[in-house]
Each structure stands twice: as structure tokens, then as C-alpha cells.
Amino acid sequence: MVPRSPALRAVKWAVLFDALVVAREHWDKLTPGERAHLAALLRKSRARPGNLTAAERRDVRRLAAKLDLPTLGRNLAPVARRLRPRPR
């Protein structure tokens, strides 16, 4: 096994930081109350929509729409590309 260089680790941390900055920009589209409500709903659901009532599922969808997840994915794509190994 080849030891990893410190420079490679630094690049991965830089990419992670860039991803967090992009995600934070979208997270900040929610008010503090909406953020707390969404976090509580996600904790309650344990990643299973069936654990929520119909009204709570509507709330999650409404808040997810406000986060603009398709744009978040497009903004994260260039960051994720930096993690993939380049073909030789």
C-alpha cells in the first residue's frame, strides 16, 4: 500500500470545505425557525418518510423546495469532480 501524501489530504480537505460552503449557501435560504423545524422533522423521521404524518411530509417537501436541491446538486457537481481520479 502506498502511503498518502500530506498534499493529497490537504486537497481532500479543501474540496470538503468547498462543498460545505456551497451547502451552507443553500441552508441559509431557510430562516432559523425553518432550519430548526426541518432538523426536528428529519430526526423524527429517521430517514423514513412513513414515520411522519402527511402534514409533516408536506412541510419537509416545502422546506426542501425552498432549499432548491436541484441547484445545490448542480453547484456541487464541479466540487465532486475534483475528487474523482483523472484518467491517464
**15-29 residue pLDDT tens:** 889 999 999 999 999
C-alpha–C-alpha distance, residues 44 and 2, integer Å: 43
Q: Which amino acid is at 61?
A: R
Q: How confident is the model at residue 4 (pLDDT cuts 50, 70, 90)?
A: low
How do residues 41-78 score in pLDDT, each as one tens digit? 999 999 899 999 999 999 999 999 999 999 999 999 99
Q: Which amino acid is at 39?
A: A
Reduced to 3 states (helix: H, G, I; strand: E, B; else coil), residue 68 is coil
pLDDT of residue 7: 65
* 60 within 8 A of 41, measured Cβ to Cβ: yes
Q: pTM score, two decimals?
A: 0.74
C-alpha–C-alpha distance, residues 22 and 80, integer Å: 12
CA torsion, points 69, 74, 75, 80, in degrees to nearest 10? 110
